[in-house]
Amino acid sequence: LSLPCALQVLECHDMREWNDCALEIVSRRLQSKSREKRRLALRGLVALSQDPSLAEGIRSLTQSLMELLQDADGEVVTLILSVFLNELQDRATLISSPTALQLAEALRPLFDNDNSHVQLLSICLFREVMELVMDKGKKPLKMHVRQSLLPLFFHCHDE
């Protein structure tokens, strides 16, 4: 982070407040036009996403992160996918049907990404999302899952 950002974090007096400050700074940097600032913010967010106490704050960034999934920069996409995977691992988090559908739709084009790491992470995240979607929300996802099975089969066969 830049010096002004570091000073903002240092001004926070306790850890809970520091977490909120860090997430606020990351949120602003995600909107930056500078690719390097976005990358730096995402690297920080990957580290923060490993702390279960920050799950709610990171969830508030979901929409911004999903919009950035369309970025042409493979590193940016890899970092975003890592944040989502960290958020879902080892947690009893259920995903609402609308969020699951939106995320599944955003992940589908990534199955064909030139970067094999992005492909792998997107497939892993897709699987996690399908397992954690709330039971009552599974019906709307059936069609999308069916449409995704053939490309997934081809990717598994290719590998």
12/113: higher pLDDT: 113
Cα separation of 151 and 127, whole Å? 14
- Return the pLDDT at 53: 77
pLDDT in tens, 15-28: 455 566 777 888 88
Mean local confidence (pLDDT), 135-153: 60
103/132: higher pLDDT: 103
- Per DSSP, the three-state class of 29 is helix
Q: Is pLDDT above 80 for 8?
A: no
pLDDT in tens, 71-125: 888 999 999 999 999 988 756 666 777 788 888 888 888 988 889 899 889 988 8
Q: What size, in residues, is the chain? A: 159
> Which parts of the chain fold into alpha helices (H)?
3-10, 15-30, 35-48, 55-59, 62-68, 74-88, 97-107, 116-132, 138-158
Q: Is pLDDT above 60 for 7?
A: no
pTM: 0.75
- Return the pLDDT at 153: 64
- Return the pLDDT at 9: 45
Binned at pLDDT 50, 70 and 90, residue 132 comes out as: confident
Domains of the chain: 20-156 (1.25.10.10)
pLDDT in tens, 28-78: 888 888 889 889 889 988 988 888 777 778 888 888 898 888 888 899 999
